Amino acid sequence: MSRSRKSPVVRISLLVTGLVLLLIVTPLVGPIPGPGGIVTFAAGLTLILQNSNWARKRFVRLKRRWPRFGRYSDIALRRMSYRRRQQRAKEAEVAKAEAELLGFPAEQH
């Protein structure tokens, strides 16, 4: 279901659930041995980013400022946009290698 087709009640309830997971459950589960705190943090962050335009814009700004953090968060959240960027980079690298093999000069930037 696309984001725009969700009922406002559903979106708000998912956003509140994400906030509860992130702000209340994560600190309670974090000290317990095991990965529970990481899982609840990721689940809360995912719910918030899926249901809040404000949070999504802030997250994009954070990723642009610190690309390394954005790369790690995309890997952790298994975001499709990360996979598309990786695939495009791989295709560009292959195309560049093929062009050099065929004798075309390298592009000057």
pTM value is 0.60
DSSP letter for 32, please. Answer: S
Flag residues of the chain having pLDDT under 70: 1-5, 76-79, 108-109
pLDDT on residue 91? 94
- 64: enclosing H helix or E strand: helix 53-65
pLDDT confidence of residue 109: 60
User: What per-residue confidence (pLDDT) applies to 60?
Assistant: 85
Nearest to 47 by CA among 69, 19, 10, 24: 19
